[in-house]
Amino acid sequence: MSFEFKGRTAFITGGASGAGFGQAKVFGREGCRIAIADIRGDAVGSAVDELRAEGIECHGVVLDITDRAAFVRAADEAEAALGPVSMLFGTAGVSIFGPLEKATYDDYDWIFGVNFGGVVNLMQTFVPRMIEHGLGGHIVNTASLGCFFANSGSGIYSASKFAVHGITMAMRDALKDHGIGVSVLAPANIRSNIAESVQTRPAKFGQSGYAVDRREIEALHEIYSQGMEPEELAGHVREAILANRLYVIPYPEARPLLESIFQQALDALPPADSDQAGQEQRNRAMARYIAARREMDAERYGA
């Protein structure tokens, strides 16, 4: 419980709305300086006004998180305005739902570009800076409960969130000796504007296999109107940072689903005491590889 929020600078993608804006408010109230980056300029302007009205020191930048060169400029700008960034929130995300077999490459490229690519670009831009600053810190990437399961309708979205889950877990391991904690947020339902996310889809990914009409958007609004308040969700994120916990999944209703998924994986395993000789052989080979890898890495990267 030694993490100190006060005086840190946080960079939040998707910070102008929904979960990201909730994080901006909650961590701003904890004494963080807040940089919000979002593709929607009007939303950035009103979010910054609202944060400043609360006395939160903040900076807004209009950024498409899929644009790597613009990301570097946004990072330079945020650090010039608010000082070295030591907290990252990869919160921006978009969704589209429909039968998986109807999807086009543009559907894949847009969803993966924002949801996974945005998280990658955030970490590629800032992780070397965070290590260099030596201030420790924390990274929270937003996946979804869909980072644990997928069905036809949510297929591309879920697959992109599986990828966010995987890279975030790996980054937690990579940064463990740098005093930088890493968590993955897996929400089930947030009261947000994500039903409208199709409006941020760029023309270059215009060929969709899905019919996104007003009826579809209204139906999504209806679900998300019943979701958890973003500030409440950000409060759970705050607790997870303090405890440096990998997972943030503050939805009790997710238990049966997660139990059934992990039970299926466990059911696929042979009994623990079967194939003793094979187990020992494979474990020894893995241990030898890990030891050799450590030695090679120490030589090559000074790890």
Rounded (5°) CA angle 118-121-123 = 110
Active-site hit among 108, 157, 224, 289: 157
Q: Which of 64, 85, 158, 183 binds ligand NAD (CB under 6 A)?
A: 64
227: contact with ligand NAD by CB under 6 A = yes
Q: Read off the tokens for 276.
A: 């003793």
What is the spatial distance between Cα 101 and Cα 17, in angstroms, rounded to a whole number? 31
CB of 142 to ligand NAD, least distance (A): 4
Instruction: Judge whether 192 and 230 are in contact, CB under 8 Å.
Output: yes
Map tokens 């030596």 to a residue: 134
Please identify which residue in 3, 83, 174, 193 interacts with ligand NAD, judged by CB under 6 A.
193
**46 makes contact with ligand NAD (CB under 6 A):** no
Quick check: 19 binds ligand NAD (CB under 6 A)? yes
Q: Quick check: 168 binds ligand NAD (CB under 6 A)?
A: no
14 forms part of the interface with ligand NAD (CB under 6 A): yes
For the bound state, the minimum distance from the C-beta of residue 94 to ligand NAD, rounded and expressed in Å, comes to 5
Cα separation, 270 vs 248, in Å, equals 31
301 is catalytic: no
Q: At 186, phi and psi to the nearest 5?
A: -125, 80
* Choice from 20, 28, 60, 137 touching ligand NAD (CB under 6 A): 20
- CB of residue 20 vs ligand NAD: minimum separation in angstroms? 6
Query: Is residue 192 part of the contact set for ligand NAD (CB under 6 A)?
Result: yes
Alpha carbons 26 and 81: distance in angstroms, whole number:
20
Determine which residue in the list 51, 56, 114, 140 makes contact with ligand NAD, applying CB under 6 A: 114
Question: Does position 91 bind ligand NAD by CB under 6 A?
Answer: yes
Angle at Cα 90 formed by Cα 89 and Cα 94, nearest 5°? 140
DSSP element (H, E) containing 303 = none
Scored b (16 or more CB within 10 A) or e, 158-197 reads bbbbbbbbebbbebbeebeeeebbbbbbbbbbbbbbbbeb
- Kindly state whether residue 117 participates in binding ligand NAD, applying the rule CB under 6 A: no
Among 12, 16, 35, 240, interactor with ligand NAD by CB under 6 A: 16
Q: By CB under 6 A, what part of segment 235-294 binds ligand NAD?
A: none
Q: What angle do CA 122, 123, 127 make, to 5 degrees?
A: 125
Q: Is 184 in the site for ligand NAD (CB under 6 A)?
A: no
Judged by CB under 6 A, does residue 200 bind ligand NAD? yes
Residue 63 binding ligand NAD, by CB under 6 A: yes
Axis crossing angle, helix 117-133 with helix 155-174, rounded to the nearest 10? 10
- Catalytically annotated residues: 157
Which residues form the interface with ligand NAD (CB under 6 A)?
13-14, 16-20, 38-40, 43, 63-66, 91-95, 114, 142, 144, 187, 189-190, 192-194, 197, 200, 224, 227
